[in-house]
A and B are shown apart, each in its own frame.
Chain A
Amino acid sequence: MYNKVKQNFMVMKTVYIFIVVFLHHFASFSQSTELAVAGTEKVRINDLYGDLKISANNSESIRIEIAGHKNIPESISETESVRYKPDNTQLGINIEKKDRILIISASDRQSQFTNYRISIPKKLMIEIRNKFPSKSNGISFNKNDGRYDAFMNNINVRGFKNEIDINVFASDLKLNNVTGPLAISAFYGDVNIDFLRLNQDNPSQIELFNGNIKVNLPYDTKSIVTLNSESGYIQTDFTIKKATVMSKNTRTEKNRVHGVIFRKYYNTNITGIINKKGTPLTITTYNGNIKLLRKDYPYIPFYIYTD
């Protein structure tokens, strides 16, 4: 009897959680706007400090959904009204178009803890910028008066087949099913990139001050790679041909996992070719580790992968 009641209670609890999650999902991103992008080459996103999910679509319009936005009082300081653009969307953001670039920026009425879901045509270039804290721009880590500030956020980008250019202060970056070319730099945060393929027209570069970088590339990607991690390690299961290792005293390790050889190089930088000569890919972290891993490798039973 007790067990039956307990079982019913568990079922009801699960259903209740599902309903709450379901309602939350729809209610949370209730505010939205949609605009056409004819004649636009690039979308620039400035200073949106909440979690940012950017996905690719096949249409000719941009859809912006916002969650957790609360209009902050209009009495803002003079410096802030100069620093931020006016809210022309009633969503706490400013949207303007300048020279074939659509700019989505923080407004003077944007509140902290707002999360964004932005769907952008996949043919467009993307640029994401977050201001770095300094005295002149008034952004600091410790400010917590209801207005947005520079704090660690998550940025997810998915499905783009064009250039992605990111420069942020403190963000965890996740890029999935992208082709690049990429130009990424960040002060803090981890970077996780899953390439659909690597664009062979233009070079890609990823540079971090503090954080780990993990890059998954299709196993047959052609590239000249430069990997720098002078205070961490570089791990890869790619065979780096004609490799130039900066320090002769570099400690290296070689492990075999399920027949695949993984090499680890400590505190060094390596330049070399993976597969064949292709577009340059530069990955740098000043304080952190780098993982450059093969994906989609065809599985051959009982085959021992060697270099």
Chain B
Amino acid sequence: MNCNDIKSLLLDYLDNNLDKKTKLEIEKHLDHCKICSNELSQIRLLNEKISNMNKIENPRHLFDTFMLNLEKEKNRLKKWSFGINSSSLFRIAASILIFITGLLTGVLVVTGYLEKTRIKKMENEISSLKNAVAITMFNPHSTSDKIKALTYFNENNKVSPDLLRSLENALFFDDNVNVRLAAANALFRYRDNEQVMELLIKCLSSQDEPMVQIAIIKFLVDSREKRAAESLQYLIKNDDTNIIVKEYADQGLHVLL
């Protein structure tokens, strides 16, 4: 043990709190270490001085005041607790808090759901309104207004009788070839719909716009629609068909048959 270890144990050594072995070691060290011996003698001196000091009595009124305040505090707590101890109060408060939180969450979830349902309903209403506005309000001279109306119809991606009727009208009777093309392109999205395929086959033999004819031939041939063969043959035989459309129809017929 070095001097620092010895110094930390000196108080215990004086109080006789150490085991024999440590005590012997300290005594052995104190025999040859003057610094530690001095330290020990100083501590002894201090102890003696403390033990020789006069005892000071506590003033009586201090104790009385403390007891009075303690009694007051006890009464105050009693007044608010209604006979329930503090830990029970805490538990009740926590339960109420959890209940309110749960209730609020429930209300929020329910109102959120209602909100979503309402938004969905509004979206549907807006979509039908857009369709109605698009059909009735567009400028009859504007090609892009008509195309926009067809695009709105396409937004829902559902084939309704209204949608089919409007696209059919545009495809068969609109005097603008670009509007007819847009109607054809809108119909091409419903490849799996039987009615749409029949409509396109019917259109092929009555269509007089070469660009639209080419677009429909390409779509029907890509879809491997064998029922289109008759319409293609009609186009090939018809004198009025554009020569390039005839060639395209002929190539398509070879693919189908």
Residues of A within 8 A of B (CB): 41-42, 99-101, 125, 127, 132-136, 163, 165, 167, 180-187, 199, 201-205, 207, 209, 280, 282, 286
Complex contact B142–A163 (CB within 8 A): yes
Complex contact A183–B210 (CB within 8 A): no
A191 shortest CB reach to chain B, Å: 14
State in angstroms the CA–CA spacing of A186 and B214 once bound together.
Answer: 11
B244 partner, pick from A184, A187, A207, A282, beta carbons under 8 A: A187
B130 shortest CB reach to chain A, Å: 13
A226 shortest CB reach to chain B, Å: 9
By a CB distance below 8 angstroms, the chain B residues around A280 are 151
A167 partner, pick from B144, B178, B244, beta carbons under 8 A: B178
B170 shortest CB reach to chain A, Å: 13
Of residues 209 through 250 on chain B, the ones whose CB sits less than 8 Å from some CB of chain A are 210-211, 214-215, 218, 239-244
With contacts A134-B241, A165-B176, A187-B211 taken as known, whether A203 is within 8 angstroms of B151 at the C-beta atoms is yes
A244 shortest CB reach to chain B, Å: 12
B203 within 8 A of A: no
Show 6 A/B contacts (Cβ-Cβ < 8 Å), sorted by A. A41-B139, A101-B141, A134-B240, A134-B242, A203-B148, A205-B178
By a CB distance below 8 angstroms, the chain B residues around A132 are 210, 242
Nearest A residue to B139, CB-CB: A41
Return the 10 tightest CB-CB contacts between A and B, nearest first: A181-B144, A202-B144, A183-B178, A165-B143, A167-B177, A183-B143, A202-B148, A185-B211, A136-B240, A132-B210
B145 partner, pick from A135, A202, A286, beta carbons under 8 A: A202
Complex contact A207–B242 (CB within 8 A): no
With contacts A167-B178, A187-B210 taken as known, whether A204 is within 8 angstroms of B242 at the C-beta atoms is no
Known: A180-B144, A185-B178. 11 other contacts (CB 8 A): A125-B142, A132-B210, A133-B243, A163-B143, A165-B143, A167-B176, A183-B176, A184-B178, A186-B211, A187-B211, A205-B185
Complex contact A183–B244 (CB within 8 A): no
A285 shortest CB reach to chain B, Å: 12
The DSSP consensus for interface residues of chain A is strand
- Chain B residues bordering chain A, tally (CB within 8 A): 27
The DSSP consensus for interface residues of chain B is helix
By a CB distance below 8 angstroms, the chain A residues around B176 are 165, 167, 183
A248 shortest CB reach to chain B, Å: 16
Q: What per-residue 1/0 map shows which CB atoms of B176-188 lie under 8 Å from chain A?
A: 1111011001000
B147 within 8 A of A: yes
State in angstroms the CA–CA spacing of A185 and B147 once bound together.
Answer: 14
State in angstroms the CA–CA spacing of A72 and B244 once bound together.
Answer: 30
Residues of B within 8 A of A (CB): 139, 141-145, 147-148, 151, 176-179, 181-182, 185, 210-211, 214-215, 218, 239-244
B187 shortest CB reach to chain A, Å: 14
B133 shortest CB reach to chain A, Å: 13
By a CB distance below 8 angstroms, the chain B residues around A184 are 178
State in angstroms the CA–CA spacing of A187 and B214 once bound together.
Answer: 10
By a CB distance below 8 angstroms, the chain A residues around B142 are 125, 163, 202
B192 shortest CB reach to chain A, Å: 16
Nearest B residue to A140, CB-CB: B243
Complex contact A41–B181 (CB within 8 A): no
B256 shortest CB reach to chain A, Å: 18
With contacts A132-B242, A133-B243, A167-B211 taken as known, whether A204 is within 8 angstroms of B144 at the C-beta atoms is yes
By a CB distance below 8 angstroms, the chain B residues around A134 are 240-242
Nearest B residue to A186, CB-CB: B211
Nearest A residue to B241, CB-CB: A134
B243 shortest CB reach to chain A, Å: 7
Complex contact A209–B242 (CB within 8 A): no
Complex contact B239–A286 (CB within 8 A): no
Complex contact B144–A203 (CB within 8 A): yes
State in angstroms the CA–CA spacing of A186 and B210 once bound together.
Answer: 10
Nearest B residue to A137, CB-CB: B240
A183 partner, pick from B139, B147, B241, beta carbons under 8 A: B147
By a CB distance below 8 angstroms, the chain A residues around B240 are 134-136
By a CB distance below 8 angstroms, the chain A residues around B141 are 41-42, 99-101, 125
By a CB distance below 8 angstroms, the chain A residues around B211 are 167, 185-187, 207, 209
B218 partner, pick from A125, A201, A286, beta carbons under 8 A: A286
State in angstroms the CA–CA spacing of A209 and B176 once bound together.
Answer: 18
State in angstroms the CA–CA spacing of A291 and B75 once bound together.
Answer: 90
State in angstroms the CA–CA spacing of A282 and B240 once bound together.
Answer: 30
